[in-house]
Structure 1
Amino acid sequence: MTKTTASAPARIAARVFAVLILACSWGCTPSTRITGTWKNPEVESRSYDKVVVAALTDNIRARQTVETDMQNQLQQRGITATRSIDLFPPTVSRSGPDVNLLLQKVKDQHYGAILTVALLDEETDTRYVPGGYGYTPMTRYGWYGRFRGYYTYWYPTLYDPGYYTEEKVYFLETNLYDTETERLLWSAQSKSYSPASLRKASETLAELTVAQMARESIIP
């Protein structure tokens, strides 16, 4: 993947989140799955019960949606979760809130960890959808005696030609950082195939991510 400047990830995430919002017109069934996780072996295992959720995008609607869904899933497991948009409301700055101010505010309010959600990349997957065949039923003697019937008898299969279709594939990353040390504690990557809407993709991502964190004893 091409290296980018410090502000580039936020710009990429904003563009991709915007595409997700407009994806409501797509007719594909949404499919989101976690492709891999990593847990820092050098960090002493502990369970975090107070977390700030931060979606790394300057798209206000996307930020609010993703953070809200993650917050809801964490709260269902007894975690005190706060959205970064509540700590730092949207501003005109495309670079986002000052990271030092953000960390200080999180520490002052005694949050143990920060959970980030970022869109790393997107691809267009072109695939061929094969055509279908269907049998044309007839009466017992419907084909006999006339050209029309005879012709239809020998060509009872209707062919529906195939076609090519394009689907978007989004690559997402969720990271958990310790507030005091700022060290990466846990990370998960996932794929989302042509989500029908940001709402559905966000809900599924939050559900899968929080469930996986619980299985790996990152949260209660």
Structure 2
Amino acid sequence: MKIITKILAIMLLAGCSSTRLIDSWRNPDYLYFTPQKVLIVGVSHNLTARKIFEVHLKNEFNMRNIEADESYEIFDSDFTNTKQTDEDIQKQLDKVVGKGYDVILISTVKGVDEKTSYTRGHSRVDYTWRRFRGYYLLYQDIYHDPGYYENYRVYNIESALYNIEEDSEKSLVWVASYDLVDPKGIQETVEDYVDKIIKDLEKENLIPRRNKNKP
């Protein structure tokens, strides 16, 4: 668990990235469901990274006239600083429901992959790959220049939306998996990731589109 939360901290402290939707699922029992009050949970050991993610997503909900709050403002510090039992989690959940929240959106890193790509030093648009001669001429530098290979990381992140007023296996409203490719810095990565989540929730008609007249 500590490894996963550290990975999320790294992800949230990274920046300009390419975020891709890999897979998603919408519960067919929630065809006309719209959140009223959302608690946003970023599972991260790094409080600064968690705050940036939760605040940015809260603002996006607010711009769509949906009340939302950050979990670091609601959860007790012991809840995130120590490992919780099933009973402990239920007590915290009861507290959240008692405050009027009907939905929790939680996001966490599921894993990280190390990738390697081949990068050419410059473009050679005149060569055709239809013949062996041209293909070999293009790629023979791999033998001589190991720098042509570049390593990068891909973070697989999952976001899930739960109806916490429904205490059953049907409480999962929506879940999506994303790949964040080689993030570099905090602000751009958070914005890119949050934008993807929001757009997908809009596409599923789970939240309204942004009021352009609202700053």
Q: TM-score range by the shorter chain?
A: 0.7 to 0.9
For 1:36 and 1:133, how far apart are their aligned partners in 2?
34
Q: Report if aligned partners of 1:60, 1:90 keep a CA contact under 8 Å in 2.
A: no
Q: 2:158 maps to what in 1?
A: 173
Q: 1:212 maps to what in 2?
A: 200
TM-score by length of 1: 0.74
Which residue, out of 3, 27, 40, partners 1:12? 3
For 1:181 and 1:104, how far apart are their aligned partners in 2?
12
For 1:119 and 1:87, how far apart are their aligned partners in 2?
22
Q: Displacement of 1:62 after TM fit?
A: 1.9
Q: Relative to total residues, which structure has the larger helix share, 1 or 2?
A: 2
2:98 matches 1:108: yes
What is the root-mean-square deviation of aligned Cα atoms in Å?
A: 2.5
Distance 1:95 1:119, change over 3 A: same
Q: Report if aligned partners of 2:162, 2:174 keep a CA contact under 8 Å in 1.
A: yes
Q: 1:198 maps to what in 2?
A: 186
- Bigger drift between 34-43 and 167-176 goes to 34-43
Which residue, out of 17, 25, 36, partners 1:38? 25
Q: Displacement of 1:20 after TM fit?
A: 3.0
Q: 2:133 maps to what in 1?
A: none
Q: Displacement of 1:203 after TM fit?
A: 1.3
For 2:50 and 2:76, how far apart are their aligned partners in 1?
11
Q: Report if aligned partners of 2:19, 2:181 keep a CA contact under 8 Å in 1.
A: yes
Identity across the alignment (%):
27
Q: Report if aligned partners of 1:168, 1:193 keep a CA contact under 8 Å in 2.
A: yes
Report how many residues are paired: 183
Q: 2:69 maps to what in 1?
A: 82
Matched position secondary structure for 1:186: strand
Residue 51 of structure 1 aligns with an amino acid whose one-letter code is: V
Which residue, out of 26, 33, 47, partners 1:60? 47
Distance 1:67 1:200, change over 3 A: same
Q: Report if aligned partners of 1:53, 1:83 keep a CA contact under 8 Å in 2.
A: yes
TM-score by length of 2: 0.75
Q: Report if aligned partners of 1:12, 1:119 keep a CA contact under 8 Å in 2.
A: no
Residue 71 of structure 1 aligns with an amino acid whose one-letter code is: K
For 1:13 and 1:65, how far apart are their aligned partners in 2?
18
For 2:31 and 2:187, how far apart are their aligned partners in 1?
35
